[in-house]
């Protein structure tokens, strides 16, 4: 079968992936074999491709058709459309996925929409769930979201607004800011320094100089969830500033993968919300999968807002 594999070439020199012939997946007992119809490319995957692990192939967000059911009898039957979140190797014609990491798709959710859900949607859903555990609820809470231009920012905005939170988003793009306001953001600013707190919660994905500025805008006993490093710049914190800042503030690192249960239930929630018209995958570009190398370059250069989805002919 055909799949995209890392070239090991720096992006500044040439393409970081190439299409190649690889062996078809061998199913484990708890894995369904999926014929991939569409997959989403995440900016974080562009970072991994700079120094790819040995024998690793990219691809964590896919949608397609079950062509072989799991040998142990778990999961959907042959012929069922699904969205899946494999650990890797999804940029291919076929991928084997644990049945706990997929969810069936209704007819009214397309493969292209579904492929945009897993990584960004799971991150947003679990981020807000973690925040709600700290505050008790989100209704009426003031939330600051940095780095809001991407897929996670889109889903956080929709989900937080639906939960009754008052959300301030940080995005450098006026066009993107207008879209986030349509989705429910109460306030749009173009840099963290322009945000007026205090905020009960800060969802921080930029790192660098943004994190200390965001931390200073927390309310007493507020929570900062650090879930990304989009700036790729190290964070420097002055602990004297923290001592004179918000009283009893909490800083917590967040990983969407730090859960005890499989992904399938949360994927099913994202699919249900999409089917009901309560969640709207933001498709920044939809292209044939032959254009994957070009799309990766555009993601690195921040020329795509929202999700980048590739369709497999």
Distance of alpha carbon 259 from alpha carbon 268, whole angstroms: 16
Query: Which tens digits make up the pLDDT trace of 93-152?
Result: 999 999 999 999 999 999 999 999 999 999 999 999 999 998 889 999 999 999 888 889
Query: Which tens digits make up the pLDDT trace of 279-305?
Result: 999 998 999 999 999 999 998 888 887
Backbone phi and psi for residue 102, each to the nearest 5 degrees, phi listed first: -145, 165
Q: What is the pTM of this model?
A: 0.93
Domain boundaries, the chain: 2-117+281-311, 122-253
CATH 3.20.20.70 fits 2-117+281-311, yes or no: no
Fold category of 122-253 in CATH: Rossmann fold (3.40.50)
What are the tokens at 22? Answer: 């690889």
Distance of alpha carbon 27 from alpha carbon 248, whole angstroms: 50
What are the tokens at 239? Answer: 């602990």
Distance of alpha carbon 221 from alpha carbon 283, whole angstroms: 37
With H, G, I as helix, E, B as strand and everything else as coil, classify residue 268.
helix
**Cβ atoms of 34 and 83 closer than 8 Å:** no
Beta-bridged to residue 103, according to DSSP, are 83
Q: List Cα–Cα distances, 34 to 8, 26, 187, 213, 280, in angstroms.
A: 27, 12, 41, 45, 24
Q: Is 122-253 the same fold as 2-117+281-311?
A: no
Instruction: Answer yes or no: is pLDDT of 241 > 80.
Output: no
Beta-bridged to residue 102, according to DSSP, are 84
């Amino acid at each position: 079968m055909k799949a995209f594999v890392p070239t090991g070439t720096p992006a500044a020199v040439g393409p970081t992936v190439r299409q190649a012939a690889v062996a078809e997946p061998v199913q484990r007992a708890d894995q369904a074999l999926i014929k991939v119809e569409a997959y989403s490319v995440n900016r974080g995957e562009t970072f991994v491709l700079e120094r790819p692990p040995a024998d690793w192939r990219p691809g964590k967000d896919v949608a397609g058709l079950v062509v072989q059911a799991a040998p142990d009898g778990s999961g959907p039957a042959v012929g069922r459309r699904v969205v899946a979140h494999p650990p890797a190797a999804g940029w291919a014609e076929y991928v084997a996925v644990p049945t706990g990491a997929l969810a069936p798709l209704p007819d009214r959710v397309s493969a292209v929409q579904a492929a945009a859900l897993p990584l960004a949607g799971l991150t947003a859903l679990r981020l807000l769930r973690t925040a709600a555990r700290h505050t008790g609820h989100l209704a009426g809470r003031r939330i600051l979201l940095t780095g809001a231009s991407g897929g996670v920012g889109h889903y956080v905005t929709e989900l937080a607004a639906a939960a009754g939170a008052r959300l301030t988003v940080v995005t450098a793009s006026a066009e993107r800011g207008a879209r986030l306001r349509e989705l429910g953001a109460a306030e749009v600013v173009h840099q963290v320094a322009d945000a007026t707190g205090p905020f009960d919660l800060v969802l921080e994905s930029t790192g660098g100089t943004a994190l200390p500025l965001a931390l200073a805008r927390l309310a007493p006993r507020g929570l900062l969830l650090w879930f990304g490093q989009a700036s790729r710049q190290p964070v420097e914190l002055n602990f004297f500033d923290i001592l004179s800042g918000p009283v009893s503030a909490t800083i917590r690192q967040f990983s969407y993968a730090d859960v005890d249960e499989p992904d399938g239930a949360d994927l099913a929630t994202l699919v249900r919300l999409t089917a009901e018209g309560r969640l709207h995958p933001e498709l920044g570009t939809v292209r044939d999968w032959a254009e994957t190398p070009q799309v990766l370059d555009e993601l690195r250069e921040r020329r795509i807002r929202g999700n980048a989805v590739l369709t497999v002919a």
